[in-house]
Structure 1
Amino acid sequence: MEEIIEQVGANCGAHIEAYSKCVDLNPQNWKTSCISLEKELSKCSEKYSKRLLEAKQKCSDFTAKYEACLSQNQLVPEKCILELKDLYNCTNEALKTKPAAQN
């Protein structure tokens, strides 16, 4: 996981900063206000970390459930803690598996 964070941080720092700033400036509607920045950050992250892309693909159902919950509960995102935990567990499990090229 640290390797992925380092890769994304080194290559997508400007995207991370722009997205974080947008979220901070839009606490009530960050999910809709910052969607384009979120997509740019996601694209950049996937470009520089194939393992992250693999995890995202493996956990797409959990991601969809979490995003749907956030959309329905923008003012109280705490309601989505179970969906977040499920997504976290899936991602963690997916990242434990070494990519095929490294086996």
Structure 2
Amino acid sequence: REAALEVAARYCRDEMEQYGRCVASSPTTWQQDCDQLKLNISRCASSHPIVQKIRHDCAEPFTAFEQCLKQNQASVMNCTEHINQFLICADQVKLTT
């Protein structure tokens, strides 16, 4: 991934991994079970300008991805295109200094 995603992964890796493990282990209840872990990612991300900029600039594709997950809880692989769109967006975000 490009620099923006590398920064996000570097600074919020633990939070992202915990959330990913939670979602994977709770295929039918992850929305409730993993909510606190999702908040932890948000807290982490809010303190890093590049991650904050990605969240702002790519809010639409990320929201579409989350909506897809809600609609496809039993088959999250249906959301591959949504996550790809978000990643393409995130790769293009640059932090202007």
Q: Which has the higher helix share?
A: 1
Mapped contact 2:27–2:73 kept (Cα < 8 A): no
The correspondence of residues 1-103 of structure 1 with structure 2, limited to 5 A, is 1=3, 2-9=6-13, 13=14, 15-16=15-16, 18-47=18-47, 49-94=48-93, 97=94, 99-101=95-97
Q: Deviations over 1:57-79 (max 9, x none)?
A: 00000011110000000110111
TM-score, length basis structure 1: 0.74
Give 5+ residue unaligned stretches, structure 2.
Answer: none
Structure 1's 68 and 55: CA in aligned 2 closer, same or farther, altered over 3 A? same
RMSD (Å) for aligned C-alpha atoms: 2.0
- Is contact 1:31-1:74 (8 Å) kept? no
Q: How many residues align?
A: 93
Equivalent AA in structure 1 for residue 68 of structure 2: C
Structure 1: gaps spanning 5 or more residues: none
4+ aligned runs moved over 2 Å, structure 1: 1-9, 15-25
